[in-house]
Amino acid sequence: MGDGTAVGFVGLGNMGVPMASAVAAGGWRVLGYDSSPAARGNAAAAGVEIVDELDDVTAVDTLVVVLPNSDIVEAVLVDGGVIDRMRPGTAIIDMGSSEPSRTRQLVASAGARDIAFLDAPVSGGVLAARAATLAIMVGGDPDVVETRRPLLETMGKVRHVGGPGSGHALKALNNLMSAAHLVVSSEAIVAGKRFGLDPAVIIDVVNASSGRSGSTDLKWPRFILPETFDSGFSLRLMVKDAAIALGLIDATGTPSRASSAIVAAWADAAGDLPADADHTEIARWVESLATAPPAAG
C-alpha cells in the first residue's frame, strides 16, 4: 500500500492511464497531467485525479513521466522547468522509451538539485499495463530503486538492470528484437499463406516449435489474424525504439548487418502506412508488397 504521499504522472496516453490507475489502486494519491484535454478526460474516467497545470504535479514525492521520446521528456523536465521546481530529496522516474545517453544527462541535471532520477521503461503493452503485470526494467542508483520499488511494483514486476540509462538501453534492445520477430514472422506467415497454408495453423504449429516468439504467441493471434491491429503501440514508436537500439549497437562496435536491415524495413513501413498506424500493421504492409500470384490449390 502507498503511504499517502502524492505521486505525479505526466503523460496519460494508452500506457500512462492504466499505469496511473494501478498506482492509485495500490493506495497512492495520483495527480495526473497531460497537455491533451482528451487524454485528461480518459484518465479522469479511469479514476485519476487530474490537474490542469504542469506546475501542479511538481509538489510530489515522486514524479512519473510516460512520454514518447527524449525530446518531449526534456521539453517537460528541462524547458518546462519541472526539475527546477521539484523539491530536493524527491525523485523522477522516466517510464517511457528514451535515449540512454540523454537520460544520463538528465540524471546529472536532476542530481545537481538533489533530485533522484530513475529510468524504468516497461514491456508488455497495454494489456499488461491494464493487468498491472508489466515487465519494468530499472536503471539507476540501487538505493533509490529500493525506495521506489513498492510504487513500481503496483504496475508490474521490477528488475534493477544497472546504472543510469541501463533501463532505457535494455528497453531499446528488447524492442529491436521484438521488431525483428514481428517483421520476419510476417514475411514467413504471408509466404505460407500464399503457398496455401492456413495462417492460424501456421501460428499453432510454430507456437509449439522453435520459431515461437512474442509475436507469434500474442500479436498474431490477438491483433493480426482478427485484423483489428489495435495493440495500442504505434508503428512509429517501434521505429524510434529500434533506431535507438541500432545506435547503441553501432556505438559499441557490434556488427549490425541484420539489425540495420530490420530498422530499414520498419522505416519503409512507416513511410507507407498512416501516421497513426499500429505497429502490428507491419504484417499488412508485408502482405501488400507481395508480387507473385498466390499458389493455386
Give the domains, in start order, of the chain with CATH numbers. 6-163 (3.40.50.720), 169-288 (1.10.1040.10)
Q: How far is CA 231 from the centre of its chain?
A: 12
First to last CA, the chain: 60
Residue of 157, 171, 193, 240 with catalytic role = 171
Rounded mean pLDDT for each run of 10 residues along the chain, 297 residues in total: 72 95 93 92 89 91 96 96 95 96 96 97 95 98 97 98 98 98 98 97 98 97 98 96 97 97 98 97 96 72
Residues 6+ apart with CB under 8 A from 191: none
Residues in contact with 74: Cβ distance below 8 Å, sequence separation at least 6, in sequence order: 102, 106
Please state, in angstroms and as integers, the Cα–Cα distance from residue 12 to each residue in 47, 61, 66, 98, 293, following that order.
12, 19, 7, 17, 45
- pLDDT value of residue 1: 36
CA–centroid distance for 171 within its chain: 8
Q: 25 in helix, strand or coil?
A: helix
Q: Give the number of residues written for the chain.
A: 297
Decide if 240 is catalytic. Answer: no
